[in-house]
A and B are shown apart, each in its own frame.
Chain A
Amino acid sequence: MAIQLPIFMDYHSTTPVDPRVLEEMLPYFTTTFGNAASRSHVFGWKAEEAVEHARERVAKLIGAQSEKEIVLTSGATESDNLAIKGVAEFYKEKGNHIVTTVIEHKAILDTCKRLEKEGFTVTYLGVGKDGLVDPDDVKKSITDKTILVSVMLANNEVGTIQPLEAIGKITRERGVLLHTDAVQGIGKTPFDVDKMCVDLASLTAHKMYGPKGVGALYVRRSKPRVRLVAQMDGGGHERGMRSGTLNVPGIVGFGKASEIMRLEGNEEAARLLNLRERLRTKIMASLEEVYVNGSLDHRLPGNLNLSFAFVEGEGLMMAIKDVAVSSGSACTSSSLEPSYVLRAMGLGDELAHSSIRFGLGRFTTEEEVDYVADLMVRKVTRLRELSPLYEMHKEGIDLNSVQWAAH
């Protein structure tokens, strides 16, 4: 079968809606279009019923005790904001200290920075070279002023799966709430809010073959009961925690996507791991000076983050422009700074600039993997022929000994 171009290998950024998900959503745009908050007629009742069914499916996916623990939102950024700001505001009399990590998504980091301006103290834990947080560091950072620990389930750049279960034991023992931004890991790695002692979890539909613009915040209702201050005022939807008319078709899609993930996630993970390893071994067998960023053992099955030494990431992406991937290179960001995640792992800037993130997903085929592996080998080889650094490396010059004129 001929390869269809372009190839999408950026499943961490988003995913296409699964056709089965779309099919369930469609009637809720046209025929069953009611407002789930309309209590007085059948249109509203039907919409509400669909929402509650979806809520149950989401709850089931993450092992929540009750669907009442699922607060529907517009996506993970909103969920992260609600969790952190909502907890900070409610528990501020109890303490003003929050613990998180340097490799979190900006929705966490920037929310924490805002709270710092408002008088909260935030500890940003580092990670090892493997991209993993040490639970011991969490333990040491907790003080009697700590109200919340927020650690992601899996990192969006290097796919490292954080030791949440060990962290959950610590936070539970110390009586501190644990929040996790779970968007990248849900359905791809085991996640269970009870087993991991997670009190709040941010989810989003579009990273798991559901639609964009819908997500949820899991808020534990018992042992302990988590309280939040709503961050948006209005009609008091979602038990007062999140006002705003519910996005019924989106929520229905989110529910179906959750159901598929719950039933097929394990099998899919095994398939993706095979494909990921196929891609990795093919590339690394044919090219020297290629490095895997982050732990291979504690990693999302569909994630591969490689640094191709002596080749710049954006230049490489341009050379493979029929394949959608992303890079930690500064050139891809407006800030001209390379990836803060790779830097936090102690990777030198030059290797951060040379990094490419491959994200494999539900619709990735073996043919695509083989095509991309072959393309990478050819294009990296070509760009190295163009690279003064590679030439110097071949001449035996230690690039670290050169006095570069930084600009």
Chain B
Amino acid sequence: MAYSEKVIDHAENPRNVGTLDKEDPNVGTGLVGAPACGDVMRLQIRVSDDGVIEDAKFKTFGCGSAIASSSLATEWLKGKTVAEAEAIKNSAIVEELNLPPVKIHCSVLAEDAIKSAIDDYRKKQEARRIAGSTITTATSATAVPS
């Protein structure tokens, strides 16, 4: 199977590889896939107080297309609001990377990873909001865009 140039580029020079502090309340972590299925993606976002994704990192166990899908996802996430990030569809990844049908699941996994990271971030914010509201109700300005 021949890979598209973009897949090769991302796989050989993956963007934003790394780890964010998963204990940070502004960091959302998504871990999707399973080793037995041959791909696992961990995607992390750090969201500023005004709801913009200021950093995104990933690590992926998987084929070149899986690595490329998650690398591309982190590129797209940076600078987006959480709501915009949530709107990223796997079909856009398929199109950008020119993924063949057999590799579409890689893009689905990347979309799942984004959603899962956002979900984690929101849960943390919610927990913080609840914890914060018992102290003072006025500082819950870190409203999560919904």
A residues bordering B, Cβ < 8 Å? 310-312, 314-315, 318-319, 329-331, 334, 336, 338, 348-350, 353, 385-391, 399, 404-407
Contacts and interface: CB of A to CB of B under 8 A. Distances in A.
A328 to B, nearest CB: 10
B59 A404 contact: no
A353 B64 contact: no
A350 B66 CA distance: 16
B130 interface: no
A407 B32 contact: yes
B36 A406 contact: yes
A319 B11 contact: yes
Given A318-B11, A386-B14, A386-B67, A312 B38 contact: yes
Contact of A330 (B17, B38, B60): B38
A349 B35 CA distance: 8
A122 B20 CA distance: 55
A232 to B, nearest CB: 33
B64 A318 contact: yes
27 contacts: A312-B38, A312-B61, A314-B64, A315-B11, A318-B3, A318-B63, A319-B12, A329-B63, A330-B38, A331-B62, A336-B102, A348-B36, A349-B35, A349-B36, A349-B37, A349-B38, A385-B17, A386-B59, A387-B61, A388-B31, A388-B60, A404-B35, A404-B40, A405-B33, A406-B37, A407-B108, A407-B112
Contact of A405 (B3, B14, B32, B42): B32
A241 to B, nearest CB: 38
A399 B40 CA distance: 12
A315 B64 contact: yes
Given A312-B63, A315-B62, A329 B37 contact: no
The 7 A-B pairs of least Cβ separation, nearest first, read A404-B34, A350-B35, A349-B36, A314-B63, A318-B64, A388-B42, A353-B38
B38 A338 contact: yes
B91 interface: no
Interface of B: 3, 8, 11-12, 14, 17, 19, 31-42, 59-64, 66-67, 102, 105, 108-109, 112
Contacts of B39: 312
B36 A350 contact: yes
Given A318-B11, A388-B41, A353 B35 contact: yes
Contacts of A399: 35
B102 A334 contact: yes
B34 A312 contact: no
A405 B67 CA distance: 18
A380 B60 CA distance: 13
A389 B33 CA distance: 11
Contact of B40 (A318, A330, A331, A388): A388
A353 B39 CA distance: 9
Contacts of B66: 312, 315
A388 B59 contact: yes
Contacts of A330: 37-38
Nearest to B7: A318
